[in-house]
Structure 1
Amino acid sequence: MIKKILVLGSLAVLGVGCKSPQPVAQESSKSEKKKSDLKKYSEVITSEAKTDEGLFTTHFVDDKLYFEIPVDLFEKDMLLVSRIAGVPSGFGGGYVNAGSKVNEQVVRWVKRNGNIDMKVISFENQSDEDSPIYKSVQANNFFPILFSSKIETWSEDSTSVVIDASALFEDEVEAINGISSGLRKRYKVKKLDKSRSYIESANAYPENIEIKHVMTYEAETPPERDQAGTISMLLNQSMILLPDDKMQPRLADYRVGWFTIDKYDYDSDELKADDYEIIRRWKLVPKDIEAYKRGELVEPVEPIVYYLDPATPEKWRPYFKQGIEDWNVAFEEAGFKNAIIAKDPPSKEEDPEFSPEDVRYSVVRYVASTTRNAVGPSVSDPRTGEIIESDIIWYHNHLRSYRNRFMIEAGAQNPNARTLNTPEAEIGEMMRMVIAHEVGHALGLPHNMKASSAYPTDSLRSAEFTQKYGLTPSIMDYARVNYVAQPGDEGVRYIRMMGPYDLYAINWGYRYLPEADSPQEEKATLDKWILEKAGDPVYEFGSGYGGADPQSQRESLGDDQVKASEYGIANLKKVVPNLVDWTSKDGFAYDELDEVYRELSYMWRGYLSHVVTNVGGVYETRKTSDQEGVVYEPVPAKIQKEAVEFLNDEAFSTPKWMLNQDILGRVEAPEAIDRIQSIQTGALEDLLEKDRLKRMITNEEVNPESAYSPVDMMADVRKGIFSELYNSRQTDAYRRNLQRSYVDIAAAYLKELDERENDEVLKSDIMALMRGEMEQLKADINRRKNRTNHQLTRFHWNDLLARIDSAILNEV
C-alpha cells in the first residue's frame, strides 16, 4: 500500500534540509547569537506572572498574555476551535447561542528566524510524496499565516520559546471572529473597539489550551438598544493537540448517514482529482482482538465517557445518564460492550483537575438559558475523521418546548399531557431521548428524516407495535411525540426511542475490521452490509434537505402524510377547546395560553406542510450504480390529488376550530387571526412554488399517462379556493383574503416579466399556466359574480377582476 502524505506547510519550511552538518551548525550559531540579544526569561516572565502549565505554558503579565511553546511542539498539528461563549440577548435573532461554533481549523506553530508563525493547514488536498504531481499540489495549496509574533525570550534550558500572544485575541482576526459578514451588515458594525476588548482568562491543560476573550464592536443597530451602540461578546478559543497515532479513516457512503469530511486525491487514476469523503467517528479498538474476531462482545481500549455538568439538577441526572448509555445497545451490534459510559461529575477530592474545558473530558453541559434547544457538537481530527471530544449542550428552557408539544400533540389522547406541570416520568423520558438524539450527533450521525416513513401510519396507533419499535426506526429523526394516536388507542408509546436503523448505522461506522489495512480494503465489506439491507425502508437514509421527498420530512410520522396529518389535526381540534382550562393558573395572566395556542398554530402549519410536499414530490431512494432501479421516482398522481383535496379541506377552508372565542377573548385576537391568515397564505405559496410546478411540468412530459398535470392541479385548487364562486355563495373574510392571495400569487409571475428576462421561469410553461389560470378565473367571475346577494362578495369579485386585468396589462 502506498502511504498518502498530506500536503505540508510553506515552501520555505519544506526547503530547510538536513543533508549536511555544515548548514545546521551555521543556523545554530545564528540562533545562539539572536538569543543573546533577547531579554532574559525573568525579565519577560516576572515574579508577578500568573502562570498555568499544560500543553504549553500560559503567562499573564500585567495585561499581556504570553505563550511559552516547547520546541518539540513546532510543526505539530493542532486544532483551533472558535466558539461563542457569551452573546447579547437577541443576537442573530436568537439563533446564535452560547456554544455556537464559529470556525474549526488546523494550525501549526512554525519558527521563522526570530519569529513564531501560526499557519493554517489544510488536509483536503493530498498526494503521495513520491508522486510527480506532489510538488504541484504543494505549490497550489500554500498555507496562510494566521498570526505571527516575534520571540520575546527563550526558557532557561532553551527547550521553549516565549511569545506575546495578546494580539491574536485582542485584535480583530477574521478567522476566529464571532460576527459573520451577514450579521455585520445587519447590525451595521463599524469596527472593533480595542479599549473595551480584552483577554478574560487563559487555562492550560495537558492536551489543550483554552482562551476566553471579550470582543466589543461599535455598531449602529445592535440587537439590544440599551447597549450604547456596541455589541460585546465572549469568545472561547480552544487549541487542541492532534494525536500522532492516527486512526485509519473510513470512507463515507451516502446510503448511510454520517457527518463527513471532504477529501481530494490528486494521485487518482480517474481523469480528475478523486473527490471522496471520510466519516467522523470516535476511535474504538477492541481490547481483545482475537475474542472480537470470534464474535464475542469486547470492551474498547478507550471507551467514550461523558460526564454530567455539575450544574445538572439531581432529579434529571438519571435520565441524562440513561440517554447516554442507551447507545450501548447499538455498540453491541458493532461488537463492543460498555463502549459508552455516563458518569456524575467528580468531586474536587476525586479529581481536582476536572474541568469541562479540558479536552480529556466530554461533558453534557446544563446551561441556564431561555434558549429552547439542545445540541450535540463534537471536535474531530480533519486528517482522519477521529472525534476527539464532545460537549452536549442542554439549554434549560428546552423543557418548555417538550411540555408544550406534549400537551398540544398528545393532550387529546393522554390525560398526563393535559397540564403545564408534565409528570416527571413523561418529561424525564423526553429529556432522556433528547440527550440520546444529541449523543447520536456527537457519535457522528446526522438527522435521518426519512426513517419515520418506514412505518405504516396506522401502526402508530398500536400499543404492541409502538412499544416494540417506537415511532420511527431512528432516534435521529425528528419525531418527538406520537400525534397519530387517537383517543381510545390504549397503551401506545408517545415518546420516540432508539430503533433498528441506529443499530445498523453504528455497526456500519464503528465495527472494527482488523483484516483491512486501508480504507479501500474496508469498502467491499461495508458495501456488502448495505446491500443486505437494500430495499428495506427501515434502513434507508434521507437528510430531509431539498424539500422534494415527502417521505423525508422533519416532524412527519408514518408512510402516509395525508392520513397522519388528518389524525394530527383531528387531535388539535379536540385540544383547542380545552386550552384555557389546561393552561390557566390562579393569579396569573394568560401568557401560557397565548404561548401554547401560538405553538399549536405552528403545529397545524407543519401538518399542512407535510401534505404539500407530496404535490410535485419525488421519492428518493439512495442507490449506487451496481443496484437495480432508479434513485428518483415521482409521487403517484393519486396521492398528489388526495393531497390537494386535503389542502382544500384543512388548509384553505376557514379553520373555525382555531377561531375559538374563549381563547381569542383572552389573548391578542388580531395577532392570532393574522397568524391564521399567514399560515393559509404560506401553504398556498408553498403549493404554487416555482420548483414544484417545474417538477410537475417535467413529470407530465416524461410520464404523460400517469402524471398529475399542473393544469389539473391548478384547476383542483381553484375550484376549492373559489368554491363560493362556483356554488353562488357569499365568502367570509378569511376566504376573501385567501382568494386574493391566490390571484396575487398567480399574477406575480406575470407582473414581474419585465424584471425576469433571463429568468428560468420566463422560459418555462409556468408563465403559460398562470396566464391561462388568470384568463379562466376572469371568465368564471364575469359569468358568476352577480349570482350572490351579498354586496361585499360582489365587490370582492370585481376587485379580483381588477387585479387580474392589472397583471395581464402589465405583461411585457
Structure 2
Amino acid sequence: MSVAKKSVNKPAPTRREGLGLSAVAAAIVLLSGCASLETPKTAAPAPAATTAAPAATPNFPGAAASAPAGTAAAAKPPVDPSAPKPFAEVSKGATQQDGLFPIWRKDDKVWIEIPKAMLNKPVLFTVNIANSVGERGLYASQMGSDWMAEFRLVGKQVQLIALNTKFRAVAEQGSKRAIEQAFSPSLLGSGAVASAEHPERKSVLVDAGFLLSDIPGYSTRLEMAYRLPYAIDRANSSIESSRAEAALSTLTARIHFATPRIPAPPLVPAPSPVPPPTPPQSTPDPRSFFVDYVYSFAALPETPMAVRHADPRLGHFMESFTDLGGDLKANPRLHYVQRWRLEKQDPTAALSEPVKPITFWMDKNIPVRYRPAVEAGIVEWNKAFEKIGFKNAVVAKQQPDDANWDNMDAGHASIRWFVGADVGFAIGPSHTDPRSGEILDADIGMSDVFARGSRRMIVEDVGLSSEQRLAQLSQNWQGLQVGEAPAQCHYAQEAAAEMNFALDLLEARGDIAPDSPEAEAFVQAVIKDTIMHEVGHTLGLKHNFKASTTITREQLKDKALTEAKGISGSVMDYNAYNLALKGETQAAFNNSTLGAYDYWAIEYAYKPIAPEQEKAELARIAARSTEPALAYADDADAGGFGPYDGLDPMANRFDLGDDPLAYYKKRLQLSQELWTRVQDRKPEAGDDPLRQRRALLAGFNQLYRAAELVGKYVGGMHALRDLPGSTGRPAFQPVEPAKQREALQFLSTGLFSESSFRFRPELLANLTLDYNEWERGVPVNLSAAVARVQLVALDRLLSANTATRLLDTPAYLAPAQRKNMISLNEVYATVQGSVWSELKSGAEIDRLRRNLQREHLKRLQTLLTRGSASLPPDALSLLRYNATRLQAELRQASGNGALSVESRAHLAESLGSLTEALRATMTRS
C-alpha cells in the first residue's frame, strides 16, 4: 500500500497537525489506560456470513431502465423534475481521489462515490479523534469507535448501517433469519443521492455532509466533562481533508461544537460533596471549540483470517459474541483472540520474514530525542516472534516531517504523540475484523507525560482514590456505548508518578542530578518501557498483574540479572521502580526487555499451527499456566472498579517481588528516607520553589498505594485460573492466616501510627507556593494527606466484601484448618484496638490520631444508625458488639484529667456521639 498516494488531480488538503512539543523528561499513561486496554465495541450488525443478501441489485435513482429483450427501445419516459442530475453535471469541475470509495471535491462541496457493487457489502468503518479540547480526557490522537458497516439504498437515500455482530449463527443449523429479525442493526448516518447513476461506472454521488454529525457520540463525552449543552454547529463544520486508495477512503471532518452561553454560577454554592465542573479552561472562548473526526472506510479481507479461540489461562483481547447457531451448547458465548494476520513468506523455513509485517508508523510529532527509545520499544517484540519462527515481524517506520497524510486513518498503525493541559495518559487500542478477530489497525496514543514539568501536576493529584481514578479514565476514553466497560490502560500516568518519586529520591541521595545525562538516560528507559507495554496491547495482549510476583526479592537485587531479564515476568504488568534501600546494591530500575509471560502469550496467539493440530497444540501451550514464571491475572482480578475489589493480594498494580507485603513495607521505608533527606537538605538559591513540597507529596502517594493494597490481604483469596479437571488445585484458597495478621499489624503499627508522619516544623514552614500562578494552591494540609493514606486502608477493612469473605472462610477450609483462621471479629477488634490504643495506655492523643478516630467513629455511626444493604447481618452484629465495648472504654478514659483539653473534649464528643448511635433506632437500607 502506498502511504502517500495523491489524488488524481490534486493532493488531498493537509490537515493541521498537533502542537510541537518542547523538551521533555517524564512518563504517564489511561489509559489506559493501562485498562487491561481493549477498544470498546458498539452494537454492530452481523458479519457478511450472517447478513441476508439482497434479492436483487438495486437500481440507483435516475438509472436508465433497459428495454425488454427482443423489443424495440422503449419510448423516452417523461422527465422527472425530482430526479437527480446526471453524474457528469454534478461532478463537473471537481477533483477526484480514486479509491475504495472515490472522493470528489469542488469548492466547499465533497461527495463520496458509491459504486453499485459496494452496496450491501460490509466494510470496516472507523472514527478517530485527531484534534480535541486538550483537557479532562478530551485529548487529540485518540482511536475511537469502529463498526462493520455497509451502505444500503433506501429510495433516494443512501444509509450507512452498522451491522449487528453481537449475535451470530456460526453453525449452519442455526436460524440466521430469526437472528436478523431479533437483533436490530443501527443507522449511523444517511445522505440523499446527489447524482444519477454514472453510465459506465455504475455508481452515484452522495453528499459527504452526512459525516458532519456526531456519529461517535462525542457530545455525550462533552456533557460528562462539562455538564453543558454543547451541540454541533453544522454551518461552521467542514470536511477538512480527504484521501483515497484502493482499499481505503478517509475523510477528516472538523466539527464545531458550541453553546449559546455559559450559565452563571449559583449565588449560593449547592450543598453537594461534588463541585460542579468548570467550563473549558483550555480554549480561548469556552463557548466554542473544534474537534476533528477522522472517518475511514476500509475494505475487509475477502477471506477472513482463520480464527483462534481464546483460553482464560492467559490474557488476550477478544472478539466476543453470542453464537445462536445451535441449541445444545452449555455456553453460547464464543471468544476469538484478537491478533494480526501473520504468515511466513517461506512456510517451510524455521525462520522466515512475514508476507506482511506488523508496521508501526512513528508520528512526526514525536520529539527527535525520544524517537530512538520509541523505536526500541516497538522492535523489542521481535524477540518473541523470532521464538516462533518470524524474522522482523514488527517494523517501526518514521513518518516524514513533510508528510501530508494522517496516520490516524485506518490504513496506518501508529504511535501518536499528543499533549494535554492536565497531563494525560497512554493507550494502545486497536480496530478488528469482527468476523475473525484480525487486527486491522492500531493507534497508540502517547501523551507528553515525560516532561519534567508534569511532575508537579502528578504528585499533587491527591484527591482521587484508585477506584475513582479508574472510573474517571473510563469516562475519559469512550464509555459511550451502553453496556460496555472499555478496558483502560493508564500505565504511563501511573508510571510517571512512580518515576517522579524515584527521581526525587535519587536526586535527594545525590545519585542523579536534575537535567543530567543520567536523568536523561533514566527517562529514555522509561519511554522504552512504556512503549513496549502499549505495543503489547496493540499486538492483542491484556494486562498481567501477577507478572511482577514471578521475580524474587533476592533476584531484584541482582544487577546483572535484572539488566538482562528485567524486573518482572512481563512488560504487560504495571511495574514499580526497583529502588534499593539505603546501603543496598542498586540493580536495574525498570524493565528493559520482554518477560517469560510475553513470549508465552505471543506464542499462543501467533504460532503457525496446521489446522488439524491446532486444538491439541494450543491446549499444550496453555497448559504451561502452572509454571510459576507464567502466573497471570487481569484488570478485574486486580480490582479497583465496579464490583471487583481485588480479592487476590498477589494481583496488583505497581508492586515488585514475590512478597508484595514486604514490598509495601519497603516503600514506607523509602518514603521516610526521602522525607528525612528533604528535611536535612537546606534550600539553595535557584531551587524550584515547589521542590520540597513535591517530594513530600510524592512520598504520600507511595504510601496511599501501599495502604490500598495491604488491605487486600485481610479476607483475601488466592485465585487460580486453572480449567476444571486440569490440575486438581483449588480455584480459590483463603490467604494464610499468618499473612493476614502480618498485614493487619503493618497497618496498625505503620500506617495508623502518628510516628510514621513526623516532620520538622522548619520543613512545613518552608513549603512555599508558586506565586507566579493564580491557582497557586494553599499551604500543605498535612492532616488531609495522612488521612488519605489511612482511610483507604480503613475503608477496605470495614468493607462489605471483606466481611463477606471472612465470614465465608470456614466453608473453604477443612475442620482441622479452621483452628488458626482469622475471624471477622478479630479484624474488627484489632482495627478498633489499634485506632483507639490511647484509651488503654492513657497517652495523649495526637491531632492526626484524633482525626483517624473520628473517621472510624463516623463509619460506626453510619452503620449503627442506617445499616447497610451489602454488609452481612453478622457483620453488623459484630460491629455493634465492638462498639459497645468501645463505649465502655471511652467512658473510662474520659476521666483522665492529665490529658490536654483537646483530647478530653475529643473523648467527650466521641462518647456522646457513639452513645447516641447505639441508642438510635436503625433505619435499615
Q: TM-score, normalised by structure 1?
A: 0.88
> Are 2:362 and 1:308 aligned?
yes
Q: Describe the shift of the 1:626–1:27 C-alpha distance in structure 2 as closer, same or farther (beyond 3 A).
A: farther
Q: How does 1:40-439 map to 2 (within 5 A)?
A: 40-47=86-93, 49=94, 51-90=96-135, 94-127=136-169, 130-131=172-173, 133-153=175-195, 154-155=197-198, 157-169=200-212, 171-173=213-215, 176-180=216-220, 183-184=223-224, 187-189=227-229, 191-206=231-246, 207-218=248-259, 220=263, 223-224=279-280, 227-230=285-288, 232-268=290-326, 270-271=328-329, 274-291=332-349, 296-346=350-400, 355-370=406-421, 371-400=423-452, 405-406=498-499, 408-409=501-502, 412=505, 415-417=510-512, 419=514, 421=516, 423-439=519-535
Higher relative contact order (CA 8 A, sep 6+): 2
In structure 2, how many angstroms separate the alpha carbons of the residues matched to 1:27 and 1:606? 79
Asked whether the 8 Å contact 2:237–2:253 carries over to 1, the reply is: no
Tell me the amino acid that sits aligned with residue 319 of structure 1: A
Asked whether the 8 Å contact 1:374–1:394 carries over to 2, the reply is: yes
Tell me the amino acid that sits aligned with residue 204 of structure 1: A
Aligned to 1:685: 795
> Are 2:851 and 1:737 aligned?
yes
In structure 2, how many angstroms separate the alpha carbons of the residues matched to 1:411 and 1:164? 57
Structure 1 residue 660, shift from structure 2 partner: 4.7
In structure 2, how many angstroms separate the alpha carbons of the residues matched to 1:403 and 1:101? 22
Tell me the amino acid that sits aligned with residue 327 of structure 1: W
**1:295-315 Cα shifts (integer Å, max 9, x gaps):** x12211111122222222222
**1:98-146 Cα shifts (integer Å, max 9, x gaps):** 2334422111012334332211112232225853522212221332332
Structure 1 residue 147, shift from structure 2 partner: 2.1
Q: Describe the shift of the 1:468–1:168 C-alpha distance in structure 2 as closer, same or farther (beyond 3 A).
A: closer
In structure 1, how many angstroms separate the alpha carbons of the residues matched to 2:680 and 2:892? 49
In structure 2, how many angstroms separate the alpha carbons of the residues matched to 1:245 and 1:428? 42
In structure 2, how many angstroms separate the alpha carbons of the residues matched to 1:35 and 1:705? 95
Structure 1 residue 212, shift from structure 2 partner: 2.5
Match 2:809 to one of 699, 703, 721: 699
> Residue 343 of structure 1 aligns to a residue in which SS?
strand
Aligned to 2:921: 811
> Residue 776 of structure 1 aligns to a residue in which SS?
helix
> Are 2:614 and 1:525 aligned?
no
- My pick for the range that moved more, 411-420 or 537-546, is 411-420
In structure 2, how many angstroms separate the alpha carbons of the residues matched to 1:581 and 1:40? 83
Structure 1 residue 579, shift from structure 2 partner: 4.0
In structure 2, how many angstroms separate the alpha carbons of the residues matched to 1:760 and 1:572? 36
**1:581-620 Cα shifts (integer Å, max 9, x gaps):** 9997844652344344333321111122221111111111
Tell me the amino acid that sits aligned with residue 528 of structure 2: R
In structure 1, how many angstroms separate the alpha carbons of the residues matched to 2:905 and 2:95? 79
Match 1:626 to one of 708, 725, 730: 725
In structure 1, how many angstroms separate the alpha carbons of the residues matched to 2:581 and 2:502? 10
> Are 2:655 and 1:559 aligned?
no
> Residue 398 of structure 1 aligns to a residue in which SS?
coil
> Residue 482 of structure 1 aligns to a residue in which SS?
coil
**1:483-513 Cα shifts (integer Å, max 9, x gaps):** 3x22333251111232111001101111011
Asked whether the 8 Å contact 1:240–1:359 carries over to 2, the reply is: yes
Q: Describe the shift of the 1:428–1:660 C-alpha distance in structure 2 as closer, same or farther (beyond 3 A).
A: farther
Q: Describe the shift of the 1:152–1:344 C-alpha distance in structure 2 as closer, same or farther (beyond 3 A).
A: closer
Asked whether the 8 Å contact 1:409–1:571 carries over to 2, the reply is: no
Q: How does 1:482-631 map to 2 (within 5 A)?
A: 482-483=578-579, 485-497=580-592, 498-516=594-612, 522-543=614-635, 544-545=638-639, 546=644, 547-579=646-678, 586-587=685-686, 589-627=688-726, 628-631=728-731
Match 2:888 to one of 774, 779, 795: 779
| RMSD after superposition | 3.2
In structure 1, how many angstroms separate the alpha carbons of the residues matched to 2:624 and 2:497? 41
- My pick for the range that moved more, 587-596 or 76-85, is 587-596
> Residue 622 of structure 1 aligns to a residue in which SS?
coil
Structure 1 residue 280, shift from structure 2 partner: 0.8
Aligned to 1:666: 767
Structure 1: runs of 5 or more not aligned? 19-23
Q: Describe the shift of the 1:403–1:689 C-alpha distance in structure 2 as closer, same or farther (beyond 3 A).
A: closer
Asked whether the 8 Å contact 2:143–2:443 carries over to 1, the reply is: no
Aligned to 2:878: 769
Q: How many residues align?
A: 778
Q: Describe the shift of the 1:39–1:796 C-alpha distance in structure 2 as closer, same or farther (beyond 3 A).
A: same
Aligned to 1:478: 574
> Residue 290 of structure 1 aligns to a residue in which SS?
coil
Q: Describe the shift of the 1:661–1:309 C-alpha distance in structure 2 as closer, same or farther (beyond 3 A).
A: farther
Q: Describe the shift of the 1:776–1:508 C-alpha distance in structure 2 as closer, same or farther (beyond 3 A).
A: same
Q: Describe the shift of the 1:279–1:196 C-alpha distance in structure 2 as closer, same or farther (beyond 3 A).
A: same
Aligned to 2:488: none
In structure 2, how many angstroms separate the alpha carbons of the residues matched to 1:418 and 1:38? 72
In structure 2, how many angstroms separate the alpha carbons of the residues matched to 1:232 and 1:182? 12
Structure 1 residue 328, shift from structure 2 partner: 0.8
Asked whether the 8 Å contact 1:205–1:358 carries over to 2, the reply is: no
Tell me the amino acid that sits aligned with residue 279 of structure 2: P
In structure 2, how many angstroms separate the alpha carbons of the residues matched to 1:354 and 1:228? 30
In structure 2, how many angstroms separate the alpha carbons of the residues matched to 1:603 and 1:26? 81
In structure 2, how many angstroms separate the alpha carbons of the residues matched to 1:584 and 1:199? 55
Structure 2: runs of 5 or more not aligned? 1-45, 59-64, 264-276, 456-494, 769-777
Q: TM-score, normalised by structure 2?
A: 0.78
Structure 1 residue 66, shift from structure 2 partner: 1.5
- My pick for the range that moved more, 694-703 or 267-276, is 267-276
Aligned to 1:711: 825
Asked whether the 8 Å contact 1:7–1:127 carries over to 2, the reply is: no
Q: Describe the shift of the 1:347–1:565 C-alpha distance in structure 2 as closer, same or farther (beyond 3 A).
A: closer
Q: Which protein has the bigger helix share?
A: 1
Structure 1 residue 258, shift from structure 2 partner: 0.6
Asked whether the 8 Å contact 1:636–1:706 carries over to 2, the reply is: no
